A and B are shown apart, each in its own frame.
Chain A
C-alpha cells in the first residue's frame, strides 16, 4: 500500500506540461553530453545545476535526473559508433558494440543497446522502489574488507575481458594500477611520483586518463587509415531488435540488471565496475563465450542492462541514507540541499510526492531515451559515414575541451595527450585500453580499502576471512581464477576414465 502511494503521489506533477518538458529537455541534454566523448553526465549536471535554483524543488530534481539518466544511456552511442566510450560506464559496451559497427551492424547494435538500457533502467527503478531500505541496509554492512573483495573481483574480471592474450590484459591492468598510485595517498598523505608538482600531487583525474586512452588513442589509430583513404560505408538497417531474440536474452538481461543495481548501490563502485563485472560474468558463463568481443548483440546487452540499472542502484544510498555513491548523485544531493531538503529516511515521510516524482521522472527519462535511441539510430549512425578528416579533428577537440572543463586546468590536457600517446604505443603491442582503465578505476578502491582493513584489524590479515561477506567474495575470486583450470582438469579426467 505504501509502495503504491509512492508510485502515485508524484503523478499530479506530470499533469504540469512544464515539468514534463523539463524531464524531456533534461534527457535530451543528457543524451548530448553522454554521446560526445569527453563530455560527461557529471559535467552536464554541474553546468545546469545553477539553472535549477530558480525552479521548484520537484522541477529541479526532474531536470537533473533527466540529464543523469540520458547521459548514462548515451555513453553507449559513441562507444558503439567510434569505439570511444562517452562515459566510464559504457567502456564494456564497446567490446562488442564497435565490432558490430565494423561488421556494418551499427543500427542493430544501437537498437539492442537502447532496449537493454531501457529494461535495465526500469529494473533499477523498481528495485529502488521496492527494496531501497533493504538494499541500503546491505550497502551499509559493506566495510573496507568487503570493498577490498569487490575491487579484487573487478581485477579478476580482467582475465575474462582481455581479448586475445590474458597476460597482456594483466600487464594493462598493472599499468592502470600504477597510474592510479600517482599523487598524495589518502591513508598517510604521502606524495608518490609527484616530483614536486602540485598538479601531480592531486593525482591523475579519471576523465583525462580515460578519454586519453580511448579517445586520443582511437584518433591516432584512425589517422593511419585516413592516410590510406578508405571510407567504409556500412548500411544501417534492422534497428528494431527481434522480440524472439529479446525473450531469449531475458534471463541474462535480468542477471546483468541485478548485478548493475547491486554494484551501483555500493557507494563508490558505480556503473563502470558494474558493467565490466556483468560483461565478464556473462562472457564466462555463456555458451557463446568465445564469440564475445567479436561483435555479438549479447555483449552489448550484458553491458548496457547493467550500467543503466546502476542508476537506480546509485539512487538507493543517496535517497535512503543521503550518501552520494558517485559524483552525479553528489550533485543531486546538492540540489536537494539548496532547497532545504536533506535526503534520507525522513524525506520518505515528509515528502513522498518528491520521492515519487523522482521515480516517475526516472521512468519518463527512460521512455524518452528509448524513443530518441530507436528513432534516431539511423541518424546517429550516419556519423560514421562522415569523412574521417572531419570527424577525427572534431573528436579530438571534444576530448581536449572535456578534459580541460572537468577542473578548468591545462595540466589535464597534458595528461590527456600523454595517455593518448602511451595508449597508441601500447595498442601497437596488443595492450588494449580497457584493462588499463579498469586497473586505474579499481586501484584506489583496492589499495585504500586494503590498508583501511588492516588499520581497523590492527594488522591482522584474518579479518578478510572472518567476515562472511568478505570471505564469500574472496571465494568467488578464487573460483574465477582457478575455475577455468578446474573445469578443464575434470573434463579431461572424465574423458580419460571413459
Chain B
C-alpha cells in the first residue's frame, strides 16, 4: 500500500517536471524566433463603443491577419487615459503589450496628480483624427466664423462654449482659440462629447469645438451647424466649410492618437508593428470601414508621429499652464 502511493508520488513528480520543462521551453522559444509568437494585447484607455475603441478594434482585426497572431483589445478607461498608460508603463518592453495613447495622455501628463510621462513610452505609428470643427447651435444666428468672432468681441463672456470636461482637448483648444481671436467665452464643461452635443442640439449652449463624426446626424437634422474647421485644409465631406485660417483666426488643432510601446522596446519590433499598422490602413476593406464609420482616421509613420508628438507636447504644456490646470 505504502509502496504504491510512493510510486504514484514519483510518477506525478516526473510528469510535473516534464510539463514544467515543456512550458519553460515553449515560453522561451519566441526570444530567438521571429516576432510575434504569441497574442498581442492592445490597451485602450477608453470605454467600449467610443471612437477610440472602435478604431482600435478595426485596426486590431486587420493587424491579426498580417502578424499571424491575435491582437486583443483591452479596455482600461479612467483619469484621462492615465489608468491605461500606467498599465502600459508596467508592461514588459517586448512588443506584446501596445497602448493607444494620444493627445489626451499628452495633456494628462500635466493635469494628472500622478502622471505617466510621455517619455516612458515611444510611438509606433500615428492614428490621426480629423481636425476639430467649430459647431454652433442652429438656434444662434452665426453662420460664419467672422459673425461668430464679431459677436464674441462685442459681447465678452456671452457665448457659452461647451466642452467635454475641464482639461479635455476641446477645452484646451477652445481656450487657445479665444486667445488667438482675442475673445472671451463662458466655458461650460460636460462629461464627454455625448452630453455636450445634446446640450448644443438643444440650444442650451452656443458653440463647441468637436470632431465632426459624432455630430454628423445632428448636423443632418439641422440642429447643429458647422462653421469652420481648425485644419490646414478643408474637410472632404464638408467642402463648403472654410478653415479657421481662411476665416481670419490663424489656428490649427491637431487631434492625434498613437499606437505606443514601452520605451525600451527594441526598434526591430517597433518596425514590424509599424509595418503591420501601415498595411492595415492600406487595406481596401479597412479603408472603406474607417471611412464609412465616420472615424476618418489616417496613418502616420514612426518618424512622423514622433515629431508631431514633440510639437504637440510643447503646445499642450503652454495651454495647460495658462489655464491653471497644472497639477504636478
Give A residues with C-beta under 8 Å from B.
42, 45-46, 49-50, 53, 139-144, 184-189, 191, 194, 196-199, 201-203, 205, 267-268, 317, 321-324, 327, 330-335, 337-340, 342-347, 407-409, 444, 448, 452, 455-456, 458
- B176 is an interface residue with CB less than 8 A from chain A: no
- Pick from A50, A187, A344: contact of B57, CB below 8 A: A50
Q: How far is the CA of A270 from the CA of B51 in the complex (A)?
A: 22
Interface positions, chain B 110-133, Cβ under 8 Å from A, are 111-115
- B225 is an interface residue with CB less than 8 A from chain A: no
- B190 is an interface residue with CB less than 8 A from chain A: yes
Contact indicator A407/B83 (Cβ below 8 Å): yes
Of B6-14, B94-102, B250-258, B292-300, the one with at least 4 CB within 8 A of chain A: B292-300
Contact indicator A331/B49 (Cβ below 8 Å): yes
Contact indicator B49/A340 (Cβ below 8 Å): no
Contact indicator B217/A408 (Cβ below 8 Å): no
Closest-by-CB residue of B relative to A407 is: B76
Known contacts A143-B202, A340-B292, A409-B76; is-contact A323 B194 (Cβ 8 Å): yes
Contact indicator A186/B166 (Cβ below 8 Å): yes
Closest-by-CB residue of A relative to B199 is: A143
Contact indicator B325/A184 (Cβ below 8 Å): no
Contact indicator B325/A189 (Cβ below 8 Å): yes
Closest-by-CB residue of A relative to B202 is: A140
- Pick from A188, A317, A345, A448: contact of B191, CB below 8 A: A448
- B50 is an interface residue with CB less than 8 A from chain A: yes
Contact indicator B50/A334 (Cβ below 8 Å): yes
Q: How far is the CA of A268 from the CA of B196 in the complex (A)?
A: 12
Q: How far is the CA of A189 from the CA of B51 in the complex (A)?
A: 23
For chains A and B in complex, what number of residue pairs have CB atoms within 8 angstroms? 172
Known contacts A322-B218, A334-B50, A345-B220; is-contact A189 B165 (Cβ 8 Å): yes
Q: Which residues on A sit within 8 Å (CB–CB) of B191?
A: 186, 444, 448
Q: How far is the CA of A471 from the CA of B223 in the complex (A)?
A: 26
Known contacts A317-B198, A344-B216; is-contact A407 B49 (Cβ 8 Å): no
Looking at B61, B76, B195, which has the most chain A CB atoms within 10 Å of its CB? B195
Known contacts A197-B113, A323-B198; is-contact A53 B49 (Cβ 8 Å): no
Give B residues with C-beta under 8 Å from A.
47-51, 53-54, 57-58, 61, 73-79, 82-83, 86-87, 111-115, 160, 165-167, 186-191, 194-195, 197-199, 201-202, 204-205, 214, 216-218, 220-221, 223, 289, 292-295, 325, 327
Extra contacts, 13 of them, besides A188-B189, A408-B87 (Cβ < 8 A), are A46-B49, A139-B198, A140-B223, A143-B202, A185-B166, A198-B114, A199-B78, A323-B198, A334-B49, A338-B54, A340-B289, A409-B78, A409-B83
Q: Which residues on A sit within 8 Å (CB–CB) of B165?
A: 186, 189
Q: Which residues on B sit within 8 Å (CB–CB) of A330?
A: 47-50, 194
Q: Which residues on B sit within 8 Å (CB–CB) of A139?
A: 198
Q: Which residues on A sit within 8 Å (CB–CB) of B54?
A: 334, 337-338
Q: How far is the CA of A203 from the CA of B195 in the complex (A)?
A: 19
Q: How far is the CA of A327 from the CA of B325 in the complex (A)?
A: 28
Q: How far is the CA of A330 from the CA of B49 in the complex (A)?
A: 6
12 A/B residue pairs, CB under 8 Å, sorted by A: A143-B199, A186-B165, A186-B190, A197-B113, A197-B114, A202-B83, A330-B47, A333-B49, A338-B54, A338-B58, A346-B220, A458-B186
Q: Which residues on B sit within 8 Å (CB–CB) of A189?
A: 111, 165-167, 325
Contact indicator B204/A144 (Cβ below 8 Å): yes
Q: Which residues on A sit within 8 Å (CB–CB) of B218?
A: 321-322, 344
Q: Which residues on A sit within 8 Å (CB–CB) of B189?
A: 186-188, 452
Contact indicator A338/B190 (Cβ below 8 Å): no
Minimal beta-carbon separation of B199 from chain A (angstroms): 7
Contact indicator B198/A201 (Cβ below 8 Å): no
Known contacts A194-B113, A342-B216, A344-B217; is-contact A49 B48 (Cβ 8 Å): yes
Closest-by-CB residue of B relative to A268 is: B195
Known contacts A197-B113, A198-B113, A334-B50; is-contact A184 B79 (Cβ 8 Å): yes
Q: How far is the CA of A455 from the CA of B325 in the complex (A)?
A: 18
Q: Which residues on B sit within 8 Å (CB–CB) of A46?
A: 48-49, 75
Contact indicator A407/B204 (Cβ below 8 Å): no
Q: Which residues on B sit within 8 Å (CB–CB) of A144?
A: 199, 204
Q: Which residues on A sit within 8 Å (CB–CB) of B194?
A: 267, 323-324, 330
Q: Which residues on A sit within 8 Å (CB–CB) of B75?
A: 46, 407-408
Q: How far is the CA of A330 from the CA of B199 in the complex (A)?
A: 17
Minimal beta-carbon separation of B226 from chain A (angstroms): 15
Among all A-B residue pairs, the 8 with the closest Cβ atoms: A344-B217, A340-B292, A202-B78, A334-B49, A189-B166, A46-B48, A202-B79, A331-B49
Contact indicator A202/B217 (Cβ below 8 Å): no
The prevalent SS among residues of B at the interface is mixed
Q: How far is the CA of A267 from the CA of B221 in the complex (A)?
A: 19
Closest-by-CB residue of B relative to A451 is: B189
Q: Which residues on A sit within 8 Å (CB–CB) of B188?
A: 452, 455-456
Minimal beta-carbon separation of B298 from chain A (angstroms): 17
Q: How far is the CA of A412 from the CA of B241 in the complex (A)?
A: 45
Q: Which residues on B sit within 8 Å (CB–CB) of A331?
A: 48-49
Q: How far is the CA of A330 from the CA of B47 in the complex (A)?
A: 9
Q: How far is the CA of A20 from the CA of B94 in the complex (A)?
A: 45
Q: Which residues on B sit within 8 Å (CB–CB) of A143?
A: 199, 202, 204
Q: How far is the CA of A457 from the CA of B204 in the complex (A)?
A: 11
Contact indicator A338/B289 (Cβ below 8 Å): yes
Contact indicator B49/A327 (Cβ below 8 Å): yes
Looking at A186, A188, A448, which has the most chain B CB atoms within 10 Å of its CB? A186
Contact indicator B202/A322 (Cβ below 8 Å): no
Q: How far is the CA of A370 from the CA of B166 in the complex (A)?
A: 45
Q: Which residues on B sit within 8 Å (CB–CB) of A142?
A: 202
Closest-by-CB residue of B relative to A45 is: B48
Known contacts A46-B48, A338-B293, A455-B186; is-contact A53 B198 (Cβ 8 Å): no
Q: How far is the CA of A202 from the CA of B195 in the complex (A)?
A: 19
- Pick from B49, B76, B205, B289: contact of A49, CB below 8 A: B49
Q: Which residues on B sit within 8 Å (CB–CB) of A339?
A: 292-293
Q: Which residues on A sit within 8 Å (CB–CB) of B195?
A: 267-268, 323
Contact indicator A201/B112 (Cβ below 8 Å): yes
Contact indicator B166/A342 (Cβ below 8 Å): no
Looking at B113, B190, B205, B289, which has the most chain A CB atoms within 10 Å of its CB? B113
Contact indicator B49/A408 (Cβ below 8 Å): no
Q: Which residues on A sit within 8 Å (CB–CB) of B79?
A: 184, 198-199, 201-202
Q: How far is the CA of A335 from the CA of B293 in the complex (A)?
A: 10
- Pick from B50, B82, B197: contact of A202, CB below 8 A: B82
Q: Which residues on B sit within 8 Å (CB–CB) of A452?
A: 188-190
Known contacts A50-B57, A202-B83; is-contact A342 B217 (Cβ 8 Å): yes
Contact indicator B50/A198 (Cβ below 8 Å): no
Minimal beta-carbon separation of A421 from chain B (angstroms): 23
Contact indicator B111/A408 (Cβ below 8 Å): no
Q: How far is the CA of A50 from the CA of B198 in the complex (A)?
A: 28
Q: Which residues on B sit within 8 Å (CB–CB) of A198?
A: 79, 82-83, 86, 112-115
